[in-house]
Structure 1
Amino acid sequence: MRAGVDFFDRHHLDVARELIGSRLEWDGCAGVIVETEGYGSEGDEACHTFFRRSARQFFEEHGPGTVYAYINYGIYWLLNVLAKDGIVLIRALEPVDGLDEMRRRRGSKMSDLQLCSGPGKLGISIGLGREDHGSSLVDHPDRRILTRPEGAEIQVASDIRVGISKATTLPWRFLMKDSPHVSVRHGRVRVKS
C-alpha cells in the first residue's frame, strides 16, 4: 500500500522505524529500505532545522511526505522525507529493480551490495538532484514508498546515527537486522570527535 500523508504525519522515530522493509520506487528504480535515521525538528542539535534557518523554514512550509533533498560534501544528494515532527534520512536500500540504470549512474560495475549502501550512493543510484527538493512522495506518479505488508516479519535494530558530531548518543538509526546492504553494520558506528 502506498504511504500517504497519514503514514508520514507521525512521530519521526515511528516513521523511521516503520520505513524499514518498505519499498522505495523512484523513476523506474526500486529497493527495499534497510536503513534510516530520524532527526527531530525541535532540540536535536544534529538536525538541519536546529542550525539552518532555511531548513527550519522549509520544514514549516511543507507537509509530511515532502522530500527534503540536500547536497552533502558538495557532491552527494541525500534523500530525506518530512515527518510530523522531524526529518527521516533514508540511508540505504537493498536494490531490487532498475539495477542496470543504478550501475550506469554510479559509473561502474559493482555488486548489488555496493549500489545503495549509504545515503550518497543511494542518491546517485536513483538520480536524486536539486530539482527533487520539495517534491512529494505522497502523490508523485513515479516516486513513492510502498509500506511493508501488514504482519510482515521484519526485525529492526536501533543504533546511533552515522557521521554526526552532535547528539551522538541517540539511538535514532534503524536497520533491517542482519542486512548486508546497510552502510554501517549494527554496533560499528564510530563517533566523530
Structure 2
Amino acid sequence: MTAGSSNPAQLGGEPRLAARIAPLTRDELPVDTVELARFMVGKCLVHDTPQGRVSGRLVETEAYPIGDSTSHAYRGPRPYNGALFRAPGHAYVRLVYGASYMINMSAEAEGQGAAVLFRAVEPLDGLRLMRDRRPGVKDSDLARGPGRLCAAFAIGPEFDGVDLCGGHALWIGRLSEHDAPPARIALAKRIGLSREMHELLRFYEPGSAFVSGPKRLLEPIVR
C-alpha cells in the first residue's frame, strides 16, 4: 500500500504503516504562501511525545497570503501573532472561537506576515494516542479538521513560535522516496470564513477520506 491510499478500513492496526519520515529543511520550503500550501499536501506533521510518536500525512491545507483580510497577520505584528512574521516554517498556534486550537505555519520571507493552515491529516503513527485523545470517533475523523488535528496531536499554545524545521518535538517532514506522493492535488474555496471566500486557496488530496468539510464545496481537480 502506498502512502497516498487513504482507506480508513486499513487504519485498524497500530501503526497503519511504519512511517519513514525525513525532516524538511527550510531551504526546501517555497517562499510563497500559495506555493507552500500546495507543497505541503502529502508532507508530514510529527509530534514526538514522551508517550510516543504521533504523525500523519497532510491531506488538506489553506493559504492565507499577504494582504488577506482574514489572516491574523493582516493588521501587522502584534504581541500574539509574531510567529507569522518569522521565516517560513514556524508554527503559529492560536485558540479559535474559545474552543479549539489551530496550527498554521509561517509562509513568507521574514517580516512578511502570511500563513498556511494545516486543516487535516491522514494518521500514520500513534493511532492509540490519537484515539485516547479523541475517544469515540472514527479513525477517519481523528484529525479531519484543524481543531481535531490539534487535539489528536496534543498541540497547544506552548508550540506557538516553534521552528518546525528546527529539530524540536514538533516538526514537519516527508515520507521516503519509496512512498508515493499525491497523484493529484485539487483546489477549492476556503471554508469557515465570512469574507474573501471566492479565491481557490484550499488545497487537498482528492478522494481522501480524511479531507474536512462538505463535499459540495470541492472544486474540479487541477494540478
Q: Which TM-score tier does this pair reach, normalised by the shorter chain?
A: 0.7 to 0.9
2:92 counterpart letter in structure 1: Y
Q: Which has the larger radius of gyration?
A: 2
Displacement of 1:15 after TM fit?
0.9
1:125 matched to 2:146 = no
Identity of counterpart residues, as a percentage?
Answer: 30
CA distance in 2, matches of 1:133, 1:4: 19
**Secondary structure of the structure 1 residue equivalent to 2:132:** helix
The 10-residue stretch of structure 1 (76-85 or 3-12) with the greater mean CA deviation from structure 2: 3-12
Structure 1 gaps of 5+ residues are none
The CA distance in 2 between the partners of 1:187 and 1:156, in whole Å, is 17
Partner residue in 1 for 2:59: 34
Deviation at 1:152, TM superposition (A): 3.4
Residue in structure 1 matched with residue 122 of structure 2 by the alignment: 94
Aligned positions, number: 186
Match of 1:183 among 196, 208, 212: 212
The residue number in structure 1 matching 2:142 is: 115
Secondary structure at the aligned position of 2:217 is classed as coil
SS at match of 1:48: coil
Q: Greater share of helix residues, 1 or 2?
A: 1
**Closer/same/farther in 2, CA of residues 38 and 149 from structure 1, 3 Å limit:** farther
Q: Structure 2: which amino acid aligns with 1:122?
A: L
Cα 1:149–1:105 shift into 2, 3 Å: same
Distance change >3 Å, CA 153–CA 179, structure 1 → 2: closer
- Structure-2 residue corresponding to 1:18: 39
Contact 2:42-2:182 at 8 Å conserved across structures = no
Deviation, 1:4, is 1.3
Are 2:31 and 1:7 equivalent residues in the alignment?
Answer: no
In the aligned structure 2, how far is the partner of 1:59 from the partner of 1:128?
17
Indicate if the aligned counterparts of 1:38 and 1:173 stay in contact, CA closer than 8 A. Answer: yes
TM-score (ref. length: structure 2): 0.76
d(CA) in 2 for partners of 1:2, 1:154: 22
The 1-side partners of 2:137 and 2:67 are apart by 40
Deviations 1:104-144 (A, max 9, x none): 112x1322111000000001000011110011110133322
CA RMSD of aligned residues (A): 2.0
Residues 1:152 and 1:105: Cα distance change in structure 2 (over 3 Å): closer
